[in-house]
Amino acid sequence: MTARCRAALRESFGKGPLDPETRSHVEACGFCAARLAARDALASQLRSRPNTPAADERLREAVRDRIVRQAEHSALGHLLSEAMPVTSPADSREWRGPVADSGVARLVRSVPPAPAEAAWARVRGAIRARVVAERRPRVRRWMVGVAGAAIFTVAFFMFSRGTTEVPTIVFRDLDAADLAALPGVDPIALRHGVLR
């Protein structure tokens, strides 16, 4: 693809009519003409909505059956069928008699009532209280840290303010007369400092 092709395609993919120079290039170049034809074909297909099959109960039932069949024939399906064999309560004779009529059997067959709204309100309140209690120590630690840093900073500035004097440094060129005025001082010590 040449630079002219790139420029022509970039301009043709924009909105609006093509200028005469780009139009003549697209008509002369097979590569650019094929790209624009493909663009127009895809654009028309993307603008139209696909036809969806009508919502049919038979179709949904067939899909459900296929999913169940695939699940039953999978490794997990075989494992579950071996672990939990399906038995019908009507075929099972061992559940008849005193066990089926006991109080435990009646409680198992009965559906417990839904908890009252007040019970759920207490549960929500307990959850919120736990979340707030978990957040409080973090907030307290953060606040203690900030307060400690502030106290340290204020104390540092208060105690360090009045005792420090800024020294003044004066640079001066020393000539021979100044060195003669300082008896017993080596000129090298003045220039480089005393050896340690």
Q: At what angle do helices 20-28 and 3-12 cross, to 10 degrees?
A: 120
> Of 29, 36, 41, 28, whose CA–CA distance to 11 is shortest?
36
pTM score, whole prediction: 0.26
pLDDT of residue 2: 83
Rounded Cα–Cα distance for residues 22 and 40 (Å): 17
Residues with Cβ within 8 Å of residue 89, at least 6 apart in sequence: 95
The CA-based dihedral angle spanning residues 32, 38, 39, 45, taken in that order and rounded to the nearest 10 degrees? 170
Domain boundaries, the chain: 3-47, 118-163
pLDDT band at 137 (very low <50, low <70, confident <90, very high): low
Query: Between residues 154 and 193, which one has the greater pLDDT?
Result: 154
Q: What is the pLDDT of residues 11-30, one digit of tens each?
A: 887 767 778 888 888 888 88
Nearest to 35 by CA among 52, 18, 10, 67: 10
pLDDT of residue 104: 75
Q: Which residue has the higher pLDDT, 19 or 53?
A: 19
CB 18: neighbour CB atoms within 10 A? 15
What pLDDT is recorded for position 150? Answer: 92
Mean pLDDT, rounded, for 120-140: 79
Q: How confident is the model at residue 9 (pLDDT cuts 50, 70, 90)?
A: confident
pLDDT tens per residue across span 86-110: 666 555 555 556 666 677 777 777 7
Q: Give residue 136's pLDDT.
A: 67
pLDDT for residue 176: 67
Q: How much is the pLDDT for 162? A: 62
For the segment 146-167, what is each residue's pLDDT rounded down to a tens digit?
888 999 998 888 777 665 677 7
Decide if pLDDT at 50 tops 70.
no
1: which DSSP letter? -
Task: Give mean pLDDT, residues 61-89.
Answer: 81
Q: Pull the structure tokens for residue 74.
A: 């999978």
d(CA 179, CA 184): 9
Residue 151: the pLDDT is 92
What is the pLDDT, as a whole number, of residue 86?
67
The whole-number average pLDDT for the span 106-127 is: 80
Long-range contacts of 169-172 (CB under 8 A, 24+ apart): none
> Is the CB of residue 7 less than 8 Å from the CB of residue 29?
no
